[in-house]
């Protein structure tokens, strides 16, 4: 029972006076029960106070009942003096039985309370130990700890930076100096020497530390004296588990930072490698052709000059595609790809793609088959065009001479399917998870093709921005050709459920190669 409660303050006067107040009732029933049973009524009060208040009050109530019974029911009446041995024996036995029953009742109450607290602590421990391994960061650990402390929220407070811990009643009762000391402890920089001193600091400031090996995460101030029968061993074990979890989440966060730093370094290296190889090739060709025209222009006929200038233009266009892919990749990575939708037919998009592909289709043929009943799409046509262009451009690089690239478009349910199939070397099924990795390009012996490895990756991002899907499959018409089995890349675009303009937040977060 809380010693500050009104009931506790009134319990002692009530315990002393109640036997005298209830005596008229006892007088009323004396005609119905034997006199020897009257002490049982007073004994009931003793047991009640022993169970619901304290043993101390039960003993006081027993003495008060002893005097009340002696005064009213033992001869001479109206006096606490007792002349008959029978009455004296009955009253002494009553007093002894009251003391014994009160003591036993109190001990039973204490044991029951201890068992309840232990069961509560066990439930809290199981729940906390279930939540802590799932905690992904420091905030999750603190929230799990705060949830575990809810049964004693009035007698404990978590002191965490950025929370309103100073408004808790336990803190308001502290002096300004002690509050300042708590704020100083929160800012404490942990070193191995300081960590060794934590037990002394806890005793000095009457708090428990929540910390990892780098910093103090928070403090726990708890009034254990007001929480009866709190098993300190289990409580300290829970605190230890919380501190272990705080250290685990710190290590996990550091590991994630190192992983991101390593990935950024690998990405930077891949970008530099791509730029140095794939950008230098068209630049070298352009420089060579331009130098030839400048130095030998007067010795070249018109056809030779035209061929050199066409070479410069072709390589410049290729360099422009690489640059555009890098810019698109940057926009995708930073979630800055915004859709400006409009209604457009797939025939219009494919027609624009064919015009752009004309300079590239020198040795290959593009075959297009479009279902005439396809509905219009509510998309940003430039992005869908770029996605299809990137896939066909990639297919051209890996298709043998005179091989066709087949594009078929059809509708199933509320989805439009665009299949782009080539007759190149294909992609092994076990390697298809890499299909959309940034800067990944096929490299099989001398089959390395120029390219930044971004085209298909960007295609995925643009299609995902429209709520679509990009997947890779084996070419069903090339499965009997062991040398060039080919592959098909499928684009799926929803017809209905036009998603409206939206920003694309990290569409490549789950992306996994260009063929």
For the chain, the distance separating the N- and C-terminal CA atoms, rounded to the nearest angstrom, is: 75
Nearest to 456 by CA among 328, 300, 317: 328
Query: What ranges do the domains of the chain cover?
Result: 6-126, 151-230, 263-330, 335-494
DSSP for 413-458, written as a single string? TTEEEEEEE--SS---GGGGGGTT-TT-----TT------S-HHHH
Q: What is the pLDDT of residues 151-184, one digit of tens each?
A: 888 888 999 988 888 888 888 888 999 989 999 9
The answer, yes or no, to whether residue 457 has pLDDT greater than 50, is yes
Taking a C-beta distance cutoff of 8 angstroms, is the pair 491, 462 a contact?
Answer: no
Mean pLDDT of the chain: 77
Count of residues in the chain? 515
Nearest to 438 by CA among 371, 374, 509: 509
The pair of structure tokens assigned to 179 is 């509050």
Q: What is the pLDDT of residues 337-378, one digit of tens each?
A: 567 788 999 999 999 888 888 878 888 889 999 998 899 888
Taking a C-beta distance cutoff of 8 angstroms, is the pair 421, 404 a contact?
Answer: no
User: DSSP E strands: which ranges in 328-432?
Assistant: 342-344, 365-370, 377-379, 404-412, 415-421
The mean pLDDT value for 16-29 works out to 76
Burial class (CB in 10 A: 0-12, 13-18, 19+), 297: exposed
Q: Domain 335-494: give its CATH code.
A: 3.30.565.10
Over its C-alpha atoms, the chain yields an Rg (Å, rounded) of 43
Widest Cα–Cα separation across the chain: 151
Q: Above pLDDT 90, what percent of the chain?
A: 15
H or E element at residue 211? strand 208-211
**β-bridge mates for residue 490, sequence order:** 419, 471
Q: Label residue 32 by pLDDT band (50, 70, 90).
A: confident
Tell the residue number behind the tokens 């929230």, with chain if given: 143
Beta-sheet pairing, 156-160 with 216-222: antiparallel
Q: Which pLDDT does position 407 carry in this prediction?
A: 93
The answer, yes or no, to whether residue 85 has pLDDT greater than 90, is no
Q: How far apart are CA 387 and CA 349, in angstroms?
A: 11
Q: What is the pLDDT of residues 43-80, one digit of tens each?
A: 777 777 776 777 677 777 777 877 777 777 766 666 66
The answer, yes or no, to whether residue 289 has pLDDT greater than 60, is yes
H or E element at residue 472? strand 469-474
Query: Looking at the domain covering 263-330, what would its CATH class be?
Result: mainly alpha
Residue 72 phi/psi, 5° resolution? -100, -25
Nearest to 474 by CA among 432, 418, 413: 432
Q: Which pLDDT does position 483 carry in this prediction?
A: 62
């Amino acid at each position: 029972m809380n010693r500050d409660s009104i009931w506790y303050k009134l319990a002692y006067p009530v315990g002393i006076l109640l036997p005298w107040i209830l005596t008229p009732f006892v007088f009323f029933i004396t005609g119905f029960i034997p006199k020897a049973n009257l002490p049982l009524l007073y004994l009931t009060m003793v047991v009640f106070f022993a169970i619901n208040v304290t043993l101390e009050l039960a003993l006081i109530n027993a003495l008060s009942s002893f005097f009340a019974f002696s005064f009213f029911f033992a001869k001479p009446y109206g006096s606490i003096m007792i002349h008959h041995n029978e009455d004296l024996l009955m009253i002494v036995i009553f007093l002894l039985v009251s003391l014994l029953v009160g003591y036993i009742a109190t001990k039973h109450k204490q044991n029951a309370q201890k068992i309840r607290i232990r069961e509560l602590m066990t439930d809290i421990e199981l729940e906390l130990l279930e939540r802590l391994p799932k905690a992904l960061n420091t905030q999750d650990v603190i929230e799990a700890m705060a949830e575990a402390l809810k049964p004693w929220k009035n007698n404990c407070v978590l002191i965490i930076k950025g929370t309103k811990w100073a408004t808790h009643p336990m803190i308001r009762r502290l002096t300004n100096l002690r509050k300042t000391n708590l704020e100083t402890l929160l800012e404490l920089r942990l070193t191995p020497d300081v960590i060794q001193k934590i037990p002394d600091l806890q005793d000095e400031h009457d708090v428990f530390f929540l910390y990892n090996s780098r910093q103090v995460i928070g403090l726990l101030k708890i009034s254990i004296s007001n929480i009866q029968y709190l098993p300190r061993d289990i409580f300290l074990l829970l605190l230890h588990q919380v501190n272990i979890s705080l250290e685990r989440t710190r290590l996990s966060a550091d590991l994630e930072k190192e992983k991101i730093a390593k990935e950024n370094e690998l990405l930077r290296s891949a970008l530099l490698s791509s730029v140095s190889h794939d950008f230098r090739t068209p630049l070298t060709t352009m420089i060579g052709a331009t130098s030839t025209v400048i130095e030998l222009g007067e010795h070249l006929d018109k056809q030779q000059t035209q061929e050199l200038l066409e070479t410069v233009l072709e390589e410049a266009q290729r360099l422009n595609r690489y640059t555009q892919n890098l810019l698109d990749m940057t926009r995708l990575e930073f979630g800055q790809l915004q859709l400006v939708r409009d209604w457009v037919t797939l025939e219009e998009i494919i027609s624009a793609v064919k015009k752009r592909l004309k300079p590239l289709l020198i040795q290959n043929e593009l075959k297009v088959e479009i279902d005439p009943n396809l509905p219009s799409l509510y998309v940003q046509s430039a992005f869908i065009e770029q996605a299809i262009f990137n896939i066909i451009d990639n297919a051209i690089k890996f298709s043998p001479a005179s091989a066709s690239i087949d594009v078929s478009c059809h509708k199933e349910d509320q989805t439009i399917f665009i299949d782009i199939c080539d007759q190149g070397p294909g992609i092994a099924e076990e390697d298809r998870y890499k299909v959309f990795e940034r800067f990944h390009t096929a490299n099989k012996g001398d089959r390395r093709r120029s390219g930044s490895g971004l085209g298909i990756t960007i295609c995925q991002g643009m299609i995902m921005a429209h709520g679509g899907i990009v997947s890779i499959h084996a070419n069903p018409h090339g499965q009997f050709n062991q040398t060039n089995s080919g592959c098909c890349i499928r684009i799926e675009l929803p017809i209905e459920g036009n998603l409206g303009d939206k920003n694309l937040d990290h569409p490549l977060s789950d992306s996994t190669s260009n063929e």
